[in-house]
Amino acid sequence: MIVGTAGHIDHGKTALVKALTGVDADRLAEEKARGITLDLGFAYADLANADDGVPSPAGQGGRITGFVDVPGHEKLVRTMLAGAGGIDFALLAVAADDGVMPQTREHVAILDLLGLTAGVVAITKADLADAARRAEVEAQVRGLLADTGLAAAQVIPVSTVSGEGIGALRLVLLRAEAALAPRAAGGAFRLAVDRSFTLAGTGTVVTGTVLSGRVAVGDPVVISPLGLPARVRGIHAQDRKVGAGFAGQRCALNLAGEGVAKEAIERGDVILSPGLHAPGDRIDAVLHVLPSETRPVTTWFPARLHSHAVEVGARIVPLSGDLQPGQTGFVQIVLDRPIAAAVGDRFVLRDTSASRSLGGGRFVDLRAPSRKRGTPQRLAWLDAAHVVQPAQALARMMAIAPVDLPGFLRDRALDPAEGPRLCAEAGAQMIGTHAFFAAGLAALRESLAGTLAQFHEANPDLAGLGREKLRLTLQPRLPKEVFLAWLQGEAGARRIVLDGAFVRLPSHEVRMTGVDEALWARIQPQLLGEHRFRPPRVRDFAGEFAIDEREVRRVLKLAQRLGRVDRIALDHYFDRSVVREMAAIVREVAARGSDGWFAAAAFRDRVNNGRKVAIEILDFFDGLGLTLRKGDLRRINPHRADLFDT
């Protein structure tokens, strides 16, 4: 268990930790000289192995309790926040002589915003107060905690001078540790860095709380948001050398790697499993504004954001109108720089002058859109994504739109191996990388059929609807490769027909008359075979068949609508199978080129054609977006590389 102190300056937090553990958490010379805590302090102890005259419960020995001691000065609340992010249990110190003070109130508000529901209150310096004063301070504390998650916390008078109450306080901590539910063993590894330093003969060391997953000696990790790769050389967990660290422990990691130095790692960085590295600077969240705040949170409201150990400037955009004091709602947080975070992480907002806390909440979507962020569909999506239990969140999100499952797992710090189980629990059907709800998939299939039917009715002479236009009509947020995978599945089930870049219903056909088919039967053989890359033009067919050019042109245009040919240039048509073949040749030539770039001559030589026709063919592919041109060179457009796949 990790215990975090809280309370006003000079209310005895550090002395309390020393009385419980025997360790002075003030490590800086200035702290010892001035008698106040200026930075985070740490102590560890087996609380069952104490000599304070109070017997410990049987079977409690062997557990190491970690303490994070935080400063109480109003100017150091940012440091307090850096230490409070990963604690399991709050130890609130309130001096008997002072009673509840300003930083007592702010620390309690912060603990509540961070979701702390387990804690104890120590009325310190009890030797300075009589029974009436103790009762008065306890009443103040009860009133302060009444509307928070710590409302049920025990209140114990203690004195580090006389030893009064220390044993009773220790027993409360032991019972809390025994009752503490272990953090989930699953998930990918994350450690929030609150300190980094260099040890002679050891190298770079970072310390922090393991937020999820496990880490072992030899594991590769990434320092995020910097993106610096590293390897774990050694681990201390709860102040003991170990081979692996787990969620809920305070760990010190000895890191190695090129560029991995104390100066490269800052408080607020996160050590991650490599697959989790995807920092973001635009996050949608749910925000609760403290009732004590004096003004509403309006669009582009400036603030300082604290989450775990990171602090960063932010602008807040409420998504459903201004948030008044005491209200809760969805907001978009636009950060000054990217941070490493996870869905569900708690955060606290403070004003830009660092004089007060404004509110706090949880992150909901780490990949928030900059446009259409407050639409009804978007708010419904956030309401679904806000659900804490992953399988329930996945099911609710799929009911609105397909879900990028790798992104869902990554942003929730879940192990990819958990994907199949979550899909089974949520009733998901995978297509490519996206999870679809069965009902949502049926609705999408119905929309597909309806859209194509309407298109065919309005355009009976066209072969089908363009694939990309269809995607933008049905599911614009679905990646092209996932949409194509779905279309291929629908085509495999014979619900649609894929014809190059076009999609049609199986029942739709653009038919030629018998006369047209007869002319086409004379034309087609000359579009194939040895001369397929340089077929005759309209005038050539007209001259050979002794018919009007307009008639040849009309039949070829009809063949184009049927998907049999493509018009490469004016009056120059190529069979569709040949166009697919040429597209494959273009990809082949590009693959052999320098960095993917190739000259027209390379394609010309490959198809054994003249320069003019080769250029016309490449211009055709340019127009479709298959190729990108730069001067005399071209390369495959990665976003349209699959244009002629089926």
pLDDT, tens digit, 9 for 90 and up, residues 518-528? 999 999 999 99
User: What's the full length of the chain, in residues?
Assistant: 646
Enter the pTM of the model: 0.76
pLDDT at 293: 92
Query: Binning pLDDT at 50, 70 and 90, where does residue 339 land?
Result: very high
Number of H helices, E strands in the chain: 19, 32
Q: Which CATH superfamily is domain 2-179 in?
A: P-loop containing nucleotide triphosphate hydrolases (3.40.50.300)
Between residues 197 and 578, which one has the greater pLDDT? 578
d(CA 124, CA 465): 76
For 223-271, the pLDDT digits (tens) are: 999 999 999 999 999 888 999 999 988 899 999 999 888 888 999 999 9
SS3 content of the chain, % helix, strand, coil (to 5): 35, 30, 35
pLDDT at 253: 95
Q: Which of 41-55, 93-107, 137-151, 189-203 has the lowest mean pLDDT?
A: 41-55
Q: Are 479 and 403 in contact (CB under 8 A)?
A: no
- At residue 87 the predicted structure's pLDDT band, cuts being 50, 70 and 90, is confident
- Residue 565 pLDDT grade (very low, low, confident, very high; cuts 50, 70, 90): very high
CA atoms of 643 and 624, how far apart (whole Å): 8
| Euclidean distance between CA atoms 403 and 420, whole angstroms | 14
291 pLDDT tier (thresholds 50, 70, 90): very high
Q: Is the pLDDT of residue 289 over 60?
A: yes
Average pLDDT of 147-151?
94
Q: Indicate whether 182 pLDDT > 80.
A: no
| pLDDT value of position 178 | 86
Q: Cα separation of 70 and 77, whole Å?
A: 9
Q: With 80 as the cut, is the pLDDT of residue 199 above it? A: yes
| The two structure tokens encoding residue 433 | 């990388």
Q: For residue 364, what pLDDT band results from cuts at 50, 70 and 90?
A: very high
Q: Are 191 and 206 in contact (CB under 8 A)?
A: yes
pLDDT band at 1 (very low <50, low <70, confident <90, very high): confident
Mean pLDDT of the chain: 90
For residue 38, the model assigns a pLDDT of 63
Any idea where the domains of the chain sit in the sequence?
Answer: 2-179, 190-276, 280-378, 381-433
Q: At what angle do helices 576-592 and 600-607 cross, to 10 degrees?
A: 130
Higher pLDDT pick, 495 / 644: 495
165 or 62, higher pLDDT: 165
CATH number of 190-276: 2.40.30.10
Mean pLDDT of 391-415: 94
pLDDT for residue 49 is more than 70: yes
- Please, are residues 403 and 482 in contact by the beta-carbon 8 Å criterion? no
Please give the pLDDT value at position 449. 96
Q: CATH fold of 280-378, please?
A: Elongation Factor Tu (Ef-tu); domain 3 (2.40.30)
C-alpha distances in Å from residue 286, one per residue of 70, 478, 527, 551 = 27, 25, 62, 66
State mean pLDDT over 105-125: 92
Whether residue 282 has pLDDT greater than 90 = yes
Q: Find the mean pLDDT for residues 431-442.
A: 90
Q: What is the pLDDT of residue 274?
A: 95
Q: What is the separation, in whole angstroms, between the first and last Cα of the chain?
A: 57
Q: Are strands 301-307 and 310-318 parallel, antiparallel or unpaired?
A: antiparallel
**pLDDT for the residue numbered 563:** 85
pLDDT at 58: 59
Read off the pLDDT band of 641 (50, 70, 90): confident
HEC sequence for 456-495: HHHCCCCCCEEHHHHHHHHCCCCCHHHHHHHHHHHHHCCC
Higher pLDDT, 79 or 276: 276
- pLDDT for res 60: 62
| Least-confidence region, from 62-66, 91-95, 122-126, 212-216 | 62-66
What pLDDT score does 64 carry? 82
Pairwise CA distance, residues 36 & 559, whole Å: 87
2-179 shares its CATH topology with 190-276: no
